[in-house]
Amino acid sequence: MAKKAVLFDLDGTLWDSTAETTRAWNQTFAKCSDLPGFEMTVQTMAGLMGKTTAEIAACLLPQLPLSRAVEVVQLCCAEENAQLLRHGGKLYPGVQELFVQLAQLGGVHIVSNCETGYIEAFLQYYRALQPLVDGFLCAGETGRPKGENITALCARHHIDSAIYVGDTQSDLDAALFAGLPFIHAAYGFGTVDRPVPTARTPLDILPLAERLLAQ
């Protein structure tokens, strides 16, 4: 029997951590002597969600050499992980129920462009989700783009048929790279450039996933 799975992006798809993350990053910036008075907003953070560390560094801190900007972003990520372990982000309504249902359909996995420790913080804070998630992979672990990580996770877990769920154009591009059907989490942060199956709430994902995995 073919092994099926639904793979998820994290930010803007399963939760919204922008408030806690922005607070953690601004606390880190305040400790950096080469960033006097630098602060970011929740809106800026939302626009960075889904990007890799290097992409965020280049976009957010162009005034610094790229190597230093990457170092600062990595410091920010370490602080955000510590704060998210304590305070968490906002889980989108229906995600836990969705995972319970999808676990009966096939595996549930997470593939994100985040740094190492971020998905772990998500699962540590929302402990009820831990037994429902079969695996995860992030750019911080592999240094690879999301499309390659989707392919690698499917190979690692011997997945024969999968779909990817995300909220941004980069998520769609990653799914196309990996050759997977895509569901757009339209309740998240981003848009996509073509018609695709669309979920207005997390629970909308279930019937779409059932249909796509049955094809």
Q: How confident is the model at residue 105 (pLDDT cuts 50, 70, 90)?
A: confident
Return the pLDDT at 173: 98
Q: What is the DSSP string of 86-144?
A: HH--EEPTTHHHHHHHHHHHSEEEEEESSPTTHHHHHHHHSGGGGGG--EEEEHHHH--
Inform me whether the pLDDT recorded for 16 exceeds 90.
yes
C-alpha to C-alpha distance for 128 and 151, rounded to whole angstroms: 27
Classify domain 4-16+91-214 at the CATH superfamily level. HAD superfamily/HAD-like (3.40.50.1000)
pLDDT digits (tens, 9 = 90+) for 131-143: 999 999 999 999 9
Inform me whether the pLDDT recorded for 3 exceeds 80.
yes
- Cα-Cα-Cα-Cα dihedral sign, residues 17, 19, 22, 24: negative
Query: In b/e form, how buried is each residue of 129-140, taking b as 16+ CB within 10 angstroms?
Result: beebbebbbbbb
* Other residues' Cβ atoms within 10 Å of the Cβ of residue 86: 9
pLDDT digits (tens, 9 = 90+) for 194-209: 999 999 999 999 999 9
In the chain, where are the structural domains located?
A: 4-16+91-214, 18-87
Q: What is the DSSP letter of 51?
A: -
- Burial (Cβ within 10 Å: 0-12, 13-18, ≥19) of residue 121: buried
